[in-house]
Structure 1
Amino acid sequence: MSMASLNLLPHPSPFSSCCCSFPKGFVPCCNIHVLNPKSTLQRRGSFKPTLVVKSAAGVADNISSFTRGVTSDSISTLKFNLLSIVSGLNRGLAANEDDLRKADAVAKELEDAAGLVDLSVDIDKLQGRWKLIYSSAFSSRSLGGSRPGPPTGRLLPITLGQVFQRIDIFNKDFDNIVELQLGTPWPLPPLEATATLAHKFELIGSSKIKIVFDKTTVKTTGSLSQLPPLEVPRLPDGLRPPSNTTGSGEFEVTYVDSDTRITRGDRGELRIFVIA
């Protein structure tokens, strides 16, 4: 048979001799390409189609991308749920036992979803001024968690205002800034002040922070803002509580991103901050 007559022979269907058969309506998960029959003629009037199956790497990449998207969405949802739970608790001062359990449970879900924090890589995420929006210790009406500090409310005329943390990763400064309103005898107005508890910090391991107390500075605000700041001297070691003779403390950063941070302290305290 001449070459001209060979070219007039009908070409078989690309899948007529394929070893794979699929049910009607089934779409194969891999990409299958059939080479041009003209390039695979082996004998007159017939050919064997060559199947080329793409590597699964492309499929794996797509699955990985999809998984990352799902994880990101899950973290965003958990973070939104956590902030919603604590938003009406007045930084924890209005929290009851049920509120404490709910906040702790959702915080753990978020921590698990995001994975372990590695501050040796992401130390720059600590930089800035952070506003405390929730502390589990405040539900006890104490400023000190399981190692009580000064009580708030009726025992002492102290009203707690906003609480901030100012962190400078370059100079290793870690300042707790507390706004306070102190009661005064009538008819004098309440005394407003800001106390800054200055610390130095160091990173321990991948996610734990150790802070060492340096000094406390109190600055009056409001109508008495013209007064100079008062530096409170550090207590001698002999007068310090047995639980804190060094003036230091430790806490672990269990979640951090560009605008939210969760810490768990050595006082059994859950704290949640947002960037200020």
Structure 2
Amino acid sequence: MKTLGLIGAGNMGSAMLGGIVKAGLVKPENITVADLYQPSLDRVKAELGVNVTTDSAEVVKNCDAFIIALKPNVVELALSPLAELVREDQLVMSIAAGKQIAQLEAIVGADKKVIRIMPNTPALVSECMAGICANKNVTKEELEEVKTIFESFGEAEIVTEKLMDAVTGVSGSGPAYVFLFIEAMADAAVLEGMPRPQAYKFAAQTVLGSAKMVLETGKHPGELKDMVCSPAGTTIEAVKVLEDLGLRSAVINAIHECTEKSKELSK
């Protein structure tokens, strides 16, 4: 695509734009960003050199594709007045949690090219994980092009729409679980006498390195866990406590409830 638009210039939208511009996928002068909050527009213009406007219609009129980077509860309100401007050859992408393709088609038309995406906040540091699905009007080549865009600031996988609620549960909301875990680890280190800034660094780097081992070695997480647990050692004592207190069940139940909430948003 030669031109790209963004409706919504919040943290997620700005993070995505930064990755796209940095990767050189679309030139800044060919990107138009719309938002009603002028300070956000001033920031993305200064940082990325993109075109900005408070009129979302300008985005739809001037771009080959555009991303709706808004909260689910305002998508219909923002998109409905623009529906007549959407062209059949234009890619309409949404990152709104729980908003199904059928709901977006009901606004812009079932004959339009609609793509649903669930990224996450690590896009801010170019480590996004995004799930992508599309309606029947989107070609395989177009879907791969969108995947390439989201891979410019992390990783992306094409999934069926029925898995998008699970994507929300495990990766869309997942950073919050990880932050909670890091905070708990750091609190424990502080309890043992470590200064808090140092505790956060030890905990966060440990999580980062462990995740990298899963991705780069291809080994099962259980196998990697066993590598750390020496017989009658310190680590297995800690693992026993986590098992006794139901860490696995708590995580599974939390993601299940998050996924169910995502399903409710689509009703």
TM bin, normalised by shorter chain, reads: under 0.3
TM-score, structure 1 as length reference: 0.26
Which protein has the bigger helix share? Answer: 2
